[in-house]
Amino acid sequence: MARTGWATMCIMVFAGVFAAAVRAEDPNTPAGATTQPSATDTAPARPSDANTAGPTAQEHKLPSITITGKKPPVEQGDRPIFIALPPRDLVKRPLTESAGLDTATTVVGREEIRWLDAYSVIDALKYTPGAWTERRGRKVKQFFSVRGQRYPYPTYVIDGAWQREFHETNYFFNAATIERIEMVRSSSALLLGPGGMTGLVHIIPRTYTKQETRLDVEYGSDNTWLGNVSHGNVVGKKLSYGVGIGYRHTDGPSHENAEENITNFFGRLVYRPTKPLTLSLKAYSYTGDRELQLAEPPATGTLQTRRDSYDPICMYMVVGKARYEASDRASTEITTSYAHRRLYGHRVGSADWIERDYEYGSRVIQSLKIGDNNTLRFGGMFNHWVSPTGKRFYVGRRGELGTYSGVIVDEHDFGKLDVNVGYRLTRTRIDKFGGLNVEGVAGPLSTVLIENEWEDPLQTLTAGASYALSDVWSLHGNLALGQIAAKPGMVDAQLGRPGAERRTKFDLGIKGQWKSFGEASLTGFYVHQKDAALLSGQKVTVNGDDYGLYENADRDSYGIELDVRTRRFDSGFQFFFNAVAMQTRRQGADGDWMRDKEVPECILGGGVSWLWKGLEISLLTKHVASYENDRFLPGGSDPASLGAFTDLDAKVTYHFGEDRQHYVFFGLENICNKKYSTVAGYPDEGRRFKTGLGFKF
């Protein structure tokens, strides 16, 4: 409680200083979306060249739409870094979540991705409010979560296509191909996918608005090389295209079996054959090889000595979308996707193996303005996932799941007040999953081997609202009631599968926007989990590896989030600051409540950029309070103490060229050389450097 009290006090003090700095409200910049330009998902709100060429005209011709209007406050000034949410147009963007979640949604745009020098999606999300990355050397190299939402972790959506298996891809999914990321920190999302009760990351691919060619090269510690070449253009008035290829190599920490080589390809087409119809296609391909890093003490001995690798790694994904806007009162959007992952596994002293899985799916969403102020949206989604070979410790045991989901949302605009209610029904059929062998148990676990079984229907009900208190301030609230099924493969102490969780989630936030300053929000959240699948502290051994057992127990968490992002001031400064203070507790086997020590109580993030002519100096910092867990530790070990670190990075960049479109930089990560671990056995490498340059033509 002392740490949380200290963190809360820091937030209140910072909020007071901030309020004093911006006490003069600007009546010309309302808090709603009226200050923002019009846009669609296939034509992002901020064109790719909006920041790199200095002040630009307020109109840009795209193959699908014309963008006009004022920029939001955070996008003001010379070469601003941040962007705001796109306009709230439910016909043009039918997957837009509740306005009550605006203060619980973070947008990371392409300029911010470049400023952070983010290689992957995980890198780009590092400084979002409450962001918490568990880094390890296993197959899933990094797990990302916010507000302590784990088991299951937040899921991913690629341009409207929900992905069941993306946690093995996000840590090398090239951020250079992204226009923006919309991170719904709350576990109350409804429209984007059936994983909304655990938080969602929506990745919007880049669309080119004019001819551009880029070359970026970088070198850093551990002999890390990174290169990207991309090109895009607009052909006539109907077609936009973009292509890119990238490569990344690293030796990894010395003598720790951590070398990686990944080549990626990106392609994107947007075609508008007629005025109402827009077609888009995007493709991603990743090939290479990767060694699984050796663990250090106190991790279990097998992870310290076992040399595993995947060579080759072959992954590709295709997402297609058709959007028909019959009028300004109705639109239909159909999305289809296919993803295939194939990894060839090797282990010194053991037989090779193959891990292969693929998934395909489709979604249709219909948006109808049934009144001047009322919009109805409804649709359905299907996803089918198959692993003929099995994955992870299920290698050799086929898995096949089919998920069906339907959703309906009605939203009414009363002027200053916007209200919406929604309902989602999801059901999954398990054709086959599991059947692993556990040491000390005779034969495969029949209770884990599931065949031809329908999961219980999962229902989610939401209600949200936003209210414009003034031209500057707005109030946002959202309530969600729903269920979450235990993931196939979870095993409880009776060697069965945990039951479904019932979750209640509430968000309440206030947001302010000032043309002379930027934006700030303060959000309170509460989550109650009834019968959640939680790690029990007990383990079973599978092929020499210890795996945690789960139990159904109650859990709840509550906290506050402060998020401040400024414009680029005339002095050249632009900064952000965010803080999350939270309390998480769980019910023990004896029924008593206790603090969940696996979740940090405080997470802080901040950064500042100072731009003077072509010179830019940047500082970034991240603080994660202490927590503990026993993952990767030998059975019977006490949990390891983790976290309690403050990371500081710095970068100096020089922009040159007629429009300052080229750059060269030098940066240092973990300047203070702090030794910390986010998962036992996989410590941070300490101080690292990187340098690079880029050209834009």
| Strands 212-220 vs 688-696: parallel, antiparallel or unpaired | antiparallel
Kindly provide the residue ranges of all beta strands, DSSP E only, lying in 111-168, ordered along the sequence. Answer: 131-135, 142-146, 155-158, 161-163
What is the helix (H) or strand (E) element at residue 271, kind and residue range?
Answer: strand 260-271
- Listed in sequence order, the residues at least 6 apart from 280 whose beta carbon sits closer than 8 Å to its beta carbon are 42, 159, 268, 269, 270, 271, 320, 321, 323
3-state secondary structure of 197: helix
Taking Cα atoms as reference points, which of 265, 379, 270, 372 lies closest to residue 329?
372
Determine contact, residues 269/234, Cβ cutoff 8 Å: no
d(CA 346, CA 311): 8
Q: Each residue of 569-599: pLDDT tens digit?
A: 999 999 999 999 999 998 877 778 889 898 9
Question: Which residues of the chain fall below pLDDT 50?
Answer: 1-68, 436-447
| CB-based contact 480:462 (threshold 8 Å) | yes
Q: Taking a C-beta distance cutoff of 8 angstroms, is the pair 124, 181 a contact?
A: yes
Q: What is the pLDDT of residues 215-234, one digit of tens each?
A: 999 999 999 999 999 999 99
Neighbours of 71 (CB within 10 A): 21
Tell me the Cα Rg of the chain.
24
Q: How far is CA 355 from the centre of its chain?
A: 25
Q: Give me the residue label for tokens 């930089």.
A: 665
| Residue 441 in tokens | 């148990």
Q: Which pLDDT score is estimated for 113?
A: 97
Question: Residue written as tokens 């989990």?
Answer: 529
Pair 125, 119: CB distance under 8 Å: no
pLDDT at 447: 47
Residue pair 307/295 in contact by the 8 Å Cβ criterion: no
By CB neighbour count within 10 A (0-12 exposed, 13-18 middle, 19+ buried), where does 289 fall? middle
Rounded to 10 degrees, what is the CA torsion of 292, 293, 297, 299?
Answer: -30
Residue 551, pLDDT score: 73
User: Going from the N-terminus, what domains does the chain have, and what CATH number goes with each?
Assistant: 2-229+238-297+308-696 (2.40.170.20)
* Reported pTM: 0.87
Cβ-contact 574, 80 below 8 angstroms: yes
Tokens found for residue 271 = 């075609």
In contact, 557 and 121? CB cutoff 8 Å: no
Per the structure block, which two tokens stand in for 113? Answer: 């991705």
What tokens does 290 get?
A: 């990767």
Measure the N-to-C terminal CA separation of the chain; round to a whole number of Å.
Answer: 54
> Which residues lie closer than 8 Å to 16 by C-beta, 6 or more apart?
none
Cβ-in-10-Å burial (0-12, 13-18, 19+) of 632 comes to: buried
Q: Give me the pLDDT at residue 643, please.
A: 85
- pLDDT value at residue 64: 43
